[in-house]
């Protein structure tokens, strides 16, 4: 309840004191502070020492002491009375609305002594209360009259609320003050008629209130009036509820109230509004905080859901199966590949379901190792799973990792499976390769040993062969020599006999001796050729290098074979290149080769021509001497073979051409010694061309 308006304690001129009281009364919005201000003022400015203000309660016309000075509580109570049909001196004052002097003997309260009762009211309206003040004389002091004149209208204005307010000293007042929530009765515009202490704290400012409090109260009243006039329509009882934001005038804090207002009819027939304000500031804050938490929760949930989707997509994009389990081993999530192995197929047969169950059991026992495995953060194992679709065994490596929370507690287990089929196949193949390679190595070792043995044998055989060949060459050289000596003697004596040294020979004798001579010469030729080969092989045919001219050499060769040429019907010619330089080589060996080639040409050509050509190839600094015939030619199958020892195209006993089959073999060996070679071009039935190529300047081997 607001405290009485403080008035100056020092003496003030009447005008100033009156002005101060008038301002206080104007500022009053309740009857009690108004009454207290007046009583206080009277006591101070009339030296009365005692003053009281009584008002008439609205119902029952009971007089109540609203404010008093210089009286005890019991004295105040004694002043209050119930109307009992009239006769009470104060009732008469009220009824006549005029001040009255009471001598001490008839005073309403003996303690007052002589006193005045001054009615309070407004012109034309019944007095609502009265002032009691001791009298020093029978004339009413002007200050008291002035106060009553000012206070009367104010009290009349405030008293509809003031009368109930006055009940505050009574039971009703104590009841509504005991209510924890602000409770007030207002007119329909929100002007308070009755307010309990808590409501007054919000909506009433005493005359002595600070500027801040006054503003806060003003604001609250405006907000309250607006809220009361507006808002949702009430229920059947007309009760309306709405939220009203008010300010705590004492501390300036924002408060939120639920305003529950119910219209009621006052006994005077006016409609008034009973309002209860329930402080829901904490509830509002709690609701706001709850809403905020809820929003945060939703945002977190959205984030978690999108994170979960992202995680799902990531996991599904991984080709290897992945399972997320809870700490007790229950499956929380599977990616696509894992579902194929561990999720029961909706349309799969019994076999597929059995395989899936078997996979799940295998995985569970694997996971139990990790869960029971103490502090180990990871567990790795080789599992054998079954493909639910085909039943094929899938060897996998499973790696399970614990997922720990902020405080190290186990929140989940992530298991990744890696198919080891390919790796195992590779390992198997590698093993097989190793096995085969070691077998191969063993075989190679055996073969190498055998080869080494064979090599050793061959080496020994080569040595033996070399020795045998050397022995053979030596033997042949010796034997040739041994053959040639008696053969030369035979040929000599045969020739002498044919010359007629032993007398004239008969034609048969001559024919036989000629045969002996012919065969002897053939034998000598064979022996010479064998001797040549053995000498070449034995390295006993050295090069004798000299400078000589090709034309002269060819001339000599043709001259030596002239008898044979003459006997044949062939046109033999020599064609020399434009600029044939002199050569530095073994003249005897060149001559022997050309002689042999020309002999063969004459032997295997029956008609046509034989031409000997010689030219110098500047680019290679070599000479080429060709013997070209129009003879029988050589089958391609024999063109290489005829250069080997004892090889002839026709080697039958009935062959048409004589010879040893050693001539070309010797030619090739001699050409090689000169640093050259012998080539052949031949067409059977058309002729052959043998060519000796050799460097212009031979090099000593
Ligand atoms: P020979 O003439 O003593 O048999 P060669 O070694 O000189 O031995 O010749 C080997 C063989 O080559 C001959 O038997 C012959 O069959 C063949 N031959 C050599 N020259 C000619 C040639 N100009 N025309 C045809 N055949 C030839």
Ligand 1 center–CA 671 separation, angstroms: 17
Rounded to the nearest 10 degrees, how much is the dihedral formed by the CA atoms of 56, 190, 269, 175? Answer: -50
For 310-470, give the CATH class. Answer: alpha beta
SS3 at position 675: coil
The answer to whether the beta carbons of residues 547 and 584 sit under 8 Å apart is: yes
Domain ranges of the chain: 15-168, 179-279, 310-470, 484-537, 545-695
Q: Find the mean pLDDT for residues 7-33.
A: 70
The answer to whether the beta carbons of residues 275 and 261 sit under 8 Å apart is: yes
pLDDT on residue 3: 38
pLDDT on residue 10: 39
Ligand 1 center–CA 516 separation, angstroms: 24
pLDDT on residue 435: 93
Q: Which residue has the tokens 């009239």?
A: 86
Residue 517, C-beta contacts closer than 8 angstroms, at least 6 positions apart = 491, 494, 495, 498
Choose between 92 and 247: higher pLDDT.
247
Residue 193, C-beta contacts closer than 8 angstroms, at least 6 positions apart = 160, 161, 164, 184, 185, 186, 187, 272
**179-279 homologous superfamily:** PAS domain (3.30.450.20)
Ligand 1 center–CA 569 separation, angstroms: 19
Ligand 1 pocket, residue 610 CB under 6 Å: no
Share of the chain above pLDDT 90, in %: 29
The answer to whether the beta carbons of residues 41 and 147 sit under 8 Å apart is: yes
Ligand 1 center–CA 214 separation, angstroms: 152
Strand partners, 384: 395
Whose Cα sits closest to atom 2 in ligand 1?
659
Considering 52-61, 147-156, 413-422, the range whose residues carry the highest mean pLDDT is: 413-422
Measured CA to CA, the distance from residue 695 to residue 701 in angstroms comes to 13
Ligand 1 pocket, residue 667 CB under 6 Å: no
The answer to whether 15-168 and 310-470 have equal CATH topology is yes
Q: Find the mean pLDDT for residues 165-183.
A: 67
The answer to whether the beta carbons of residues 115 and 132 sit under 8 Å apart is: yes
Query: What ligand 1 atom has the least distance to the C-alpha of 643?
Result: 6
Confidence of residue 471 (pLDDT cuts 50, 70, 90): confident
Q: Find the mean pLDDT for residues 535-539.
A: 79
Q: According to CATH, what is the number of the domain 545-695? A: 3.30.565.10
Confidence of residue 83 (pLDDT cuts 50, 70, 90): low
Tokens of 217: 């109260």
Ligand 1 pocket, residue 600 CB under 6 Å: yes
**Least confident window among 1-10, 126-135, 578-587, 677-686:** 1-10
Query: What ligand 1 atom has the least distance to the C-alpha of 650?
Result: 16
pLDDT digits (tens, 9 = 90+) for 385-401: 999 888 899 999 999 88
Query: What ligand 1 atom has the least distance to the C-alpha of 690?
Result: 23
Question: Yes or no: is domain 15-168 CATH 3.30.390.10?
Answer: no
pLDDT on residue 503: 86
Ligand 1 center–CA 567 separation, angstroms: 19
Q: Find the mean pLDDT for residues 326-335.
A: 86
Ligand 1 pocket, residue 342 CB under 6 Å: no
SS3 at position 603: helix
SS3 at position 32: helix
State the DSSP code for 500.
Answer: T
Sheet with 410-419: list strands edge to edge.
331-334, 322-325, 410-419, 393-404, 378-386
User: Quick one: angle between helices 142-166 and 171-178, nearest 10?
Assistant: 60
End-to-end CA distance of the chain: 148
pLDDT on residue 163: 45
The answer to whether the beta carbons of residues 148 and 232 sit under 8 Å apart is: no
pLDDT digits (tens, 9 = 90+) for 407-430: 888 888 889 999 888 888 899 999
């Amino acid at each position: 309840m607001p405290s009485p308006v403080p008035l100056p304690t020092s003496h003030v001129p009447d005008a100033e004191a009156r002005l101060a009281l008038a301002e206080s009364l104007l500022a009053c919005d309740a009857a009690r502070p108004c009454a207290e201000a007046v009583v206080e003022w009277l006591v101070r400015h009339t030296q009365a020492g005692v003053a009281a203000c009584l008002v008439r309660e609205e119902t029952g016309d009971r007089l109540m002491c609203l404010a008093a000075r210089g009286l005890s509580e019991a004295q105040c109570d004694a002043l209050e009375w119930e109307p009992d049909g009239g006769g009470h001196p104060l009732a008469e004052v009220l009824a006549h609305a005029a001040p009255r002097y009471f001598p001490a003997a008839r005073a309403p309260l003996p303690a007052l002594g002589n006193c005045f009762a001054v009615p309070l009211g407004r012109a034309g309206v019944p007095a609502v209360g009265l002032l009691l003040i001791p009298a020093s004389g029978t004339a009413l002091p002007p200050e008291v009259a002035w106060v009553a004149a000012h206070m009367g209208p104010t009290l009349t204005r405030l008293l509809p609320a003031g009368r109930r307010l006055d009940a505050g000293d009574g039971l009703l007042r104590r009841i509504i003050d005991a209510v924890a929530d602000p409770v007030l009765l207002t007119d329909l515009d929100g002007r308070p008629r009755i307010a309990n202490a808590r409501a007054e704290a919000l909506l009433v400012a005493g005359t002595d209130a600070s500027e801040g409090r006054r503003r806060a109260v003003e604001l609250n009243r405006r907000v309250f009036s607006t809220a009361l006039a507006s808002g949702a329509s009430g229920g059947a009882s007309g009760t309306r509820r709405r939220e009203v934001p008010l300010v705590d005038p004492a501390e300036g804090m924002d408060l939120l109230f639920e305003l529950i207002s119910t219209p009621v009819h006052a006994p005077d027939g006016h409609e008034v509004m009973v309002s209860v304000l329930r402080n829901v500031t904490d509830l509002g804050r709690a609701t706001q905080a709850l809403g905020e938490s809820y929003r945060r929760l939703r945002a977190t949930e959205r984030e978690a859901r999108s994170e979960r989707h992202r995680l799902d997509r990531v996991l599904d994009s991984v080709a290897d199966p992945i399972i997320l389990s809870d700490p007790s081993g229950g499956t929380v999530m599977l990616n696509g590949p894992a579902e194929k192995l561990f999720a029961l197929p909706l349309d799969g047969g019994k076999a597929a379901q059995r395989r899936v169950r078997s996979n799940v059991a295998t995985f569970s026992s694997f996971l139990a190792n990790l869960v029971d495995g103490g502090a180990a953060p990871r567990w790795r194992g080789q599992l054998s799973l079954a493909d639910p679709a085909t039943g094929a065994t899938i060897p996998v490596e499973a790696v399970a990792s614990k997922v720990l929370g902020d405080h190290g507690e186990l929140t989940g287990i992530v298991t990744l499976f890696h198919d080891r089929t390919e790796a195992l196949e590779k390992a198997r193949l590698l093993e097989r390769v190793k096995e085969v390679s070691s077998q191969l190595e063993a075989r190679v070792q055996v073969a190498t040993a055998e080869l080494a043995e064979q090599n050793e044998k061959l080496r020994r055989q080569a040595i033996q062969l070399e020795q045998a060949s050397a022995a053979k060459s030596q033997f042949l050289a010796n034997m040739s020599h041994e053959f040639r000596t008696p053969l030369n003697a035979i040929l000599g004596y045969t020739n002498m006999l044919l010359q007629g040294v032993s007398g004239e020979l008969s034609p048969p004798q001559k024919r036989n001796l000629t045969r002996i001579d012919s065969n002897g010469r053939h034998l000598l030729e064979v022996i010479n050729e064998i001797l040549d080969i053995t000498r070449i092989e034995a390295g006993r045919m050295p090069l004798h290098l000299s400078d000589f001219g090709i034309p002269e050499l060819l001339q000599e060769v043709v001259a030596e074979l002239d008898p044979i040429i003459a006997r044949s019907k062939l046109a033999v010619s020599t064609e020399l290149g434009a600029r044939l330089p002199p050569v530095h080589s073994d003249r005897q060996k060149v001559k022997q080769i050309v002689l042999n080639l020309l002999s063969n040409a004459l032997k295997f050509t029956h008609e046509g021509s034989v031409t000997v050509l010689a030219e110098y190839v500047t680019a290679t600094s070599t000479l080429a001497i060709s013997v070209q015939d129009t003879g029988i030619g050589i089958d391609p199958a024999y063109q290489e073979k005829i250069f080997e020892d004892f090889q002839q195209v026709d080697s039958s006993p009935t062959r048409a051409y004589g010879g040893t089959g050693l001539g070309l073999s010797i030619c090739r060996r001699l050409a090689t010694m000169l640093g050259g070679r012998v080539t052949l071009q031949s067409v059977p039935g058309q002729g052959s061309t043998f060519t000796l190529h050799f460097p212009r300047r031979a090099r000593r081997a």
